[in-house]
Chains A and B, each alone.
Chain A
Amino acid sequence: MDYFLELFLGGLTRGSIYALIALGYTMVYGIIELINFAHGEIYMIGAFTALIVISVLTLMGMNTIAILVIAGVIAVIYSAAYGYTVEKIAYKPLRNAPRLSALISAIGMSLFLQNYVLLAQTSDFLPFPNLIPDFEFMEPYAHIIGSTEIVILITTAIVMVLLTIMIKFTNIGKAMRAASQDKTMSMLVGINVNHVISVTFVVGSATAAIGGVLIASHVGMINFYVGFIAGIKAFVAAVLGGIGSIPGAVLGSFVLGWTESFATGYVSSDYEDVFAFLFLVLILIFRPQGILGRSEKHKL
Chain B
Amino acid sequence: MITFDQIKKAVLVSVWFMFLTFPIMVIRVNPVERIVEWRWRNMLLIGVGSFILSFVWHYFIRRKELGTQKAEVGGEETIPLAQRILEKKAIYRPTLAVLGICALVFPFIFSLYQTNIMVTALIYVMLGLGLNIVVGLAGLLDLGYVAFYAVGAYAYALLNYHFGLSFWMVLPIGAALGATFGILLGFPVLRLRGDYLAIVTLGFGEIIRIILENWNEFSFGPSGIANIPRPSLLGIDLSVHAATIYIYYIMIGLCLFTIFVVNRLQDSRIGRAWIALREDETACQAMGIDKAKTKLTAFALGATWAGMSGVVFAAKTTFVNPASFTIWESIIILCIVVLGGMGSILGVIAGALVLILMPEYLRAFSEFRMLAFGVLLVVMMVFRPGGLIPNVRRTYKFEGVTETKKG
* A interface with B by C-beta (< 8 Å): 29, 33-35, 45, 48-49, 51-53, 55-56, 58-59, 74, 78, 81-82, 85, 89-90, 93-94, 97-105, 107-117, 119-122, 126-129, 232, 235-236, 239, 270-271, 273-274, 276-278, 280-281, 284-285, 288, 298, 300
Contact = CB atoms under 8 A, between A and B. Distances in A.
Contacts of B377: 104-105, 107-109, 111
B364 to A, nearest CB: 14
Contact of B381 (A105, A111, A113): A105
A284 B214 contact: no
A100 B337 CA distance: 13
Contact of A108 (B27, B28, B214, B378): B378
Contacts of A281: 188, 200, 203-204
Contacts of A45: 24
Interface string B185-203: 0001101101110111011
Interface string B2-43: 000000000000001001110111011101101010000010
A55 B29 contact: yes
Q: Chain A binding site: helix, strand, loop or mixed by DSSP?
A: helix
B36 A288 contact: no
A108 B191 contact: no
Of all A-B residue pairs in the complex, the 7 with the closest CB atoms, nearest first, are A108-B377, A112-B374, A277-B203, A111-B374, A55-B29, A115-B371, A105-B381
B72 interface: no
Interface stretch (B157-165, B205-213, B302-310): B205-213
A193 to B, nearest CB: 19
A127 B199 contact: no
Nearest to B198: A103
B331 interface: yes
Contacts of A121: 24, 28
B34 A236 contact: no
Nearest to A276: B203
A280 to B, nearest CB: 6
Contact of B23 (A53, A127, A271, A274): A53
B370 A120 contact: no
Interface residues of B, number: 56
A93 B61 contact: yes
13 contacts: A78-B20, A85-B16, A90-B382, A108-B375, A112-B375, A115-B374, A120-B24, A232-B202, A270-B214, A271-B210, A276-B203, A281-B203, A284-B191
B198 A35 contact: yes
Q: Chain B binding site: helix, strand, loop or mixed by DSSP?
A: helix
Given A90-B378, A108-B377, A59 B34 contact: yes
B106 interface: no
Contacts of B202: 232
A22 to B, nearest CB: 13
Contacts of A81: 19-20
B203 A236 contact: yes
Contacts of A280: 199-200, 203
A90 B382 CA distance: 7
A252 B306 CA distance: 34
A273 B196 contact: no
Contacts of B36: 55-56, 59
Contacts of B214: 270-271
Contacts of A56: 27, 29, 36
A82 B204 CA distance: 30
Contacts of B31: 51, 55, 126-129
Contacts of B135: 100
B169 interface: no
Contact of B199 (A33, A35, A48, A104): A35
Interface in B342-394: 367-368, 370-371, 373-378, 381-382, 385
Contacts of A102: 381
B20 A82 contact: yes
Contacts of B28: 120-122
A52 B210 contact: no
Contacts of B338: 104
A85 B371 contact: no
A274 B196 contact: no
Contacts of A94: 381-382
Contacts of A285: 188, 191
A194 B21 CA distance: 24
Nearest to B64: A93
Contacts of A35: 195, 198-199
